[in-house]
Structure 1
Amino acid sequence: MAMTANVAQWAVAALLGAAGCGTAIAAQIDVAPSSDLQSVLNGASDGDIVVLAPGSYSGPIRIERKLALIGQSGAIVLGHGEGSVITVAAPDATVRGLLVRGSGRDPQAMDSGIFLTQTAERSLIESNTIEGNLYGVNVYGARGSRVAGNTIEGLRGIRLNEAGNGVRVWNAPDVVVDGNTIRYGRDGIFSIASTKDRFINNRFEKVRFAVHYMYTDDSEISGNYSSGNHGGYAIMYSKRLIIRGNVSDRDRDFGLLFNYANYATIEGNLVAGGKLADISADFDGADDEKSMLPKTEAPAARAATGPDKCVFIYNSNKGFFRDNWFEHCGIGVHFTAGSEGNEITGNAFIANRNQVKYVGTRNLDWSKSGRGNYWSDNPAFDLDGDGIADTAYRPNDLVDRVLWTAPSAKVLINSPAVQVLRWAQNQFPALYPGGVIDSRPLIAPPPRPHSASVQ
């Protein structure tokens, strides 16, 4: 049976590569839908290329050879609601170009569309459509594997906590997850107890968190796009990460969250809010921890910006926040729980309802080497034209602290007493409470991150 051009090119390259290495020339095995696919795989040899013609093939199947399973357009591997649809147990295997459906729903067994066992090192899962499974791709200790260019859609119409993740990585160093589109399910990518992984250029929609990191060190999250999810990038109990050039576009609760995340470099990211009425975080089957404003709410309330927080930093130390853009959030940065030694410079804080919420009494200067951040509500002047405002910027005052502890006091915000208090603080800075100060604020915003244009 004739192959598509892409499959033919791939097969030729594999055959030439095998010949150049002095190994036996791989066989190409063409398979029709009427065949017993598991029997074909059992009879194949290392290096073989198994090509599936268009049609439906019965799963579950298990790959225990170093072979490539390649689907022509229209090839479907269909599970029957029990276990994982495709299990890869051999190293250096490839699964490419398939539609994969129908896993079981056992969360303890982590039933998946494609399950990579610990022996499936350096596997390639590429250009598949993986839909209607509990987990999409489960990289269960398969170090050096690559999950690239797939479309992964999780289960719909079930409780969020009962769903699996689009890609799950456990104890699998040197894994690359690149260029996938992930929708529905719990988290887009969930990584735990791993190291030296790269999650790059993925798109996430209608999930809880786009990326959820737990105990994953020395890794990278770059060039990803998260839109309309409960939260963007949740980084927990991890260290020495690079988080660069990502977008959080109208995610509901936060764009970036750091919880016990140390020695991270966070640069060139964009967190952009929007009207609550525009945010689609209430998607099919999701059990919402916090409801959106009801449609009967007044128009002014519906027009409030989101997410709640552009960035939430909790007990995270020695981070470098540079050249990020945070706009139209309820809080630009919520900074708490003893986070120390962080460098926050060159960032733009644009039209957030509260630019900073700092829970602490220590004085923190958010400038470094003569350069601070841009604050859209800073009315300062630059008389000497050096690009730095002539006076320091203080995002919070005593009134803010009162409002944090007693929100009902906001009814007094325009009272003469409050206005006098704020005037007195401006005249006598010693009255300001301890907190964040930007001693060298920028007079103009830095360039909007070019890799983070909202799509």
Structure 2
Amino acid sequence: MTSSIAKRVLLALIVVLAMLHESPVRAEEVPTSLQAIVDQAVPGDTLVLKPGTYQGPVAVNKPLTIRTEGEGNVELMNTSRLPALTIDADGITVTGLHITDEMVKETPTVLVRGHRSVLNGLYIRTGGDGIAIRDANEGMVTDTRIEWIADGVRLADKGNGVDVFNGHRWSFIGNTIRNVHDGIYMENSDDTRVTGNRIERSRYGIHCMYTNRTVIERNEGSLNVTGAMVMTARQVSVIGNSFSKQSENVNSQGILLYDTHDSILADNTVDGNRVGLYVELSTGNRLENNEVRYNFVGIQLLDSSSNSIARNRFTGNVADAQARSSEDNRISGNYWDQFRGIDANGDGTSDISYAINPLFQGLTKKRPAFQLFFQSPGMVFLEGLYQSDRDRWTTDSAPLMAPPMSENQIEDAEGRTLTGIAGLVLLGCTGTLFFWMRRRMS
């Protein structure tokens, strides 16, 4: 009996010693399940998350506001093939989360299926689509950063930063997106506003297909394949954007219109791209007041008609323009720095028109390999000889002799004028005061 008790005591001591030698696990090192917190909430609640790491995935199927508390990061970690965050109810707001979703997968990091969703101030590192919106309307994504997380993945195999299908009246404002497939992709999604975003090192910065009344305004894109691609769309507004340094790919453009109709491109800057403005199979569009500079080709018009192209500035491009089968457009009042016109009456426009030689575009359509001879001395010589069907060439009927002033230049000039007037008034007041003082002293 005594021997049996001794054995039990010895076994207990061994267990206690083993427990003492184990590494203690602190509660804060174990990610808290965000799903458990969401499940306990009542519809309409505001969940304020303390700084720390939370475990995903999480699905929100009731209207809630989820936001972070004060300073410090609130990180949602996801290692599953499911979305890190799924929004399945209307009227959900999520603010301030850092979401890390390292697995390369078909499913997105954030999946939105609820109307009137608001995503604000998120930082998403993704191995799929950053945010996918499906059959949901009237939401917002603002001040959010989205980056691709996985190394060694081809551009063609990456997900999109934001991917919208059949989602209408969304706003994407002030977001930064890098190293993804398409920055913001919209398909079958109308009345969407894309404003003040910055997109870098992706395929197409902003890409819309089968959309109506999309507004693309004051965005910046650089080092993408194409800045903004508008395809099979109507009544799109592309205004005040800047797309630069997109020239590494044979298909690089600043802004591309393909099968696009009744749209406007105005006050954009396309700088240092392979093609600044590319227009194909498009009608009824207005291209106005754009700054097109230092591109290999300023503008390409292919099989397009009934477009209005006016008051644009083409400067420093290797070739100002190329055109093919696009003679029926209203082109007037643009500045082409490679064109040498004659202004006999001094009205600022040339008395001779600027006709765009179609030889190179015709040759490369039949023999794409002839692209190698772009602006070669031999090709330039052949273009000088080619004069066939000149009356059908795409033509600026009244090219400008000097570049028109941009809105910024006008504002600067007005500012300098006002400053000069103020200076003259001040000088006059000073002189009057000086004269009055002298009279009093004499």
Check whether TM > 0.5: yes
**2:74 aligned with 1:116:** no
Which residue of 189, 192, 203 corresponds with 2:187? 192
Within 5 A, what are the aligned runs for 1:197-276?
A: 197-252=192-247, 253-273=252-272
1:155 maps to which residue?
Answer: 149
| Residues 397 and 84 of structure 1: CA distance in aligned 2, closer, same or farther (over 3 Å) | closer
Question: Offset at 1:36?
Answer: 3.2
- Which amino acid is the alignment partner of residue 116 of structure 2? R
Question: Offset at 1:362?
Answer: 3.8
1:146 maps to which residue?
Answer: 140
Q: What are the superposed Cα offsets for residues 413-441 of structure 1, whole Å, 9 maximum, x if unpaired?
A: 576x976x48xx6xxxx973621111111
1:320 maps to which residue?
Answer: 286
Higher relative contact order (CA 8 A, sep 6+): 1
- Which amino acid is the alignment partner of residue 366 of structure 1? I
Q: Normalising to structure 1: TM-score of the pair?
A: 0.76
- Which amino acid is the alignment partner of residue 390 of structure 2? Y
Runs of at least 5 residues in structure 2 that lack an aligned partner in the other structure: 1-27, 410-442
**2:42 aligned with 1:45:** yes
**2:337 aligned with 1:376:** yes
SS of the residue 1:138 aligns to: strand
Question: Offset at 1:146?
Answer: 0.2
| Residues 212 and 449 of structure 1: CA distance in aligned 2, closer, same or farther (over 3 Å) | farther
Question: Offset at 1:450?
Answer: 4.1
The 8 Å contact of residues 103 and 113 in structure 1, kept in 2 or not, is answered as no
| Residues 439 and 88 of structure 1: CA distance in aligned 2, closer, same or farther (over 3 Å) | same
In terms of Rg, which structure is larger?
A: 2
The separation in 2 between residues aligned to 1:262 and 1:400, in whole angstroms, is 23
The separation in 1 between residues aligned to 2:57 and 2:391, in whole angstroms, is 63
1:99 maps to which residue?
Answer: 98
Question: Offset at 1:259?
Answer: 1.1
The 8 Å contact of residues 84 and 104 in structure 1, kept in 2 or not, is answered as no
The separation in 2 between residues aligned to 1:217 and 1:97, in whole angstroms, is 31
| Residues 175 and 363 of structure 1: CA distance in aligned 2, closer, same or farther (over 3 Å) | closer
The 8 Å contact of residues 33 and 54 in structure 1, kept in 2 or not, is answered as no
Which residue of 319, 328, 331 corresponds with 1:366? 331
The 8 Å contact of residues 160 and 180 in structure 2, kept in 1 or not, is answered as yes
**2:319 aligned with 1:354:** yes
The separation in 1 between residues aligned to 2:358 and 2:235, in whole angstroms, is 34
Question: Offset at 1:391?
Answer: 2.1
Question: Offset at 1:133?
Answer: 3.4
| Residues 86 and 450 of structure 1: CA distance in aligned 2, closer, same or farther (over 3 Å) | farther
The 8 Å contact of residues 49 and 67 in structure 1, kept in 2 or not, is answered as yes
1:341 maps to which residue?
Answer: 306
Q: Normalising to structure 2: TM-score of the pair?
A: 0.78
Question: Offset at 1:257?
Answer: 0.8
The separation in 1 between residues aligned to 2:359 and 2:156, in whole angstroms, is 41
The separation in 2 between residues aligned to 1:365 and 1:229, in whole angstroms, is 31
> As a proportion of its length, which structure holds more helix?
2
- Aligned length, in residue pairs: 370
Runs of at least 5 residues in structure 1 that lack an aligned partner in the other structure: 1-30, 274-306
- Which amino acid is the alignment partner of residue 142 of structure 2? A
Question: Offset at 1:247?
Answer: 0.8
| Residues 84 and 104 of structure 1: CA distance in aligned 2, closer, same or farther (over 3 Å) | farther
The 8 Å contact of residues 196 and 219 in structure 2, kept in 1 or not, is answered as yes
The separation in 1 between residues aligned to 2:167 and 2:42, in whole angstroms, is 26
2:401 maps to which residue?
Answer: 443
SS of the residue 1:310 aligns to: strand
